[in-house]
Amino acid sequence: MGKPLPYEIWEKPATSCIIGLCSAIWFYIQKKNIGYSNVGLSYDTAVEGHYWRIITSALSHISVLHLVFNMSALWSLGIIEQLGHMGLGLEYYLHYSLVLVVLSGMLVLGMYHVLIQKFKIDYFRRVTAVGYSCVVFGWMTILSVKQPSSKLDLFGFLSLPISFAPFESLIFTSIIVPQASFLGHLSGIICGYSIAWGLIHGMNNYWAVSMLGWIMLVLIFSLKKSGTYDFSFLEIESVTDPSMPSVRFISSGNDRTLQMSTLPEVSTDTV
């Protein structure tokens, strides 16, 4: 007999919060009738400057089956929070969940870019990815390297050896859900191996907070610049060099202006 649910939630606080957040977002999406095009990540939207979609696409689910599969797998993977004695644990889980969200999103965009620009497959311009699958596949991969004896439980009755779970799940989801993003899942696996093998390492609280700060900054500016959300306290204006923006923060009192302008050009002659 398993442990009581409240006790498991206590043992997996970060996992429980992420599942709660993704479920709440799914409920909001259903209530407001929001579609893939509103929150998903695609090559064309990224080119247009919608960088905020790297975050919203990871936390959003349109299909309830997609949500249940991802959250069921994530709940099983929450064991990582309890493996502090193996160099994993809660902090490791939080730090690298952040890395997986951003890095897997950037990697899948890079794959789309190669397929579109190099191989002229324009189909991938319109492919829109949503869901926490990239992160789930990343953690499957990390756990398969760090603790290959573990098992991945899905839907409460399906159990897979974790050592094969990333590729088994990759094939399983491609068959059961044909519209699932194969490249998105593959990017999570690649990022997972990069972390597990130490190619990406060194995350600590300082770097995690710094990374989170930059993410929030890019999120706000891309929302503003793309016209998706109008932050009344923020204006972006062009200056002498159109490629350099000036940023003005508007307050109820005196205006505060932070302007970035180009340095005067210095002419150099070569003899």
Mark 129-168 as b/e (b = at least 16 C-beta within 10 Å). Answer: bbbbbbbbbbbbbbbbebeeebebbbeeeeebebbebbbe
Cβ-count burial of 93 within 10 angstroms (0-12 exposed, 13-18 middle, 19+ buried)? buried
DSSP conformational letter for 86:
G
**Which SS3 state, helix, strand or coil, does residue 79 take?**
helix
Measure the CA–CA gap between 121 and 112, rounded to whole angstroms.
9
Alpha-helix runs per DSSP H in the chain:
5-11, 13-32, 36-39, 43-47, 53-59, 64-77, 89-113, 123-126, 133-146, 165-176, 182-196, 205-225
What is the pairing mode between strands 158-161 and 151-154?
antiparallel
Choice among 66, 144, 185, 194 that is catalytic: 185
CA distances from 51 to 40, 45, 54, 67, 100 (A): 11, 8, 6, 23, 16
Measure the CA–CA gap between 134 and 266, rounded to whole angstroms.
48
**Which SS3 state, helix, strand or coil, does residue 164 take?**
coil
Measure the CA–CA gap between 230 and 108, rounded to whole angstroms.
28
133 is catalytic: yes
Choice among 133, 144, 169, 187 that is catalytic: 133
Catalytic residues: 133, 185
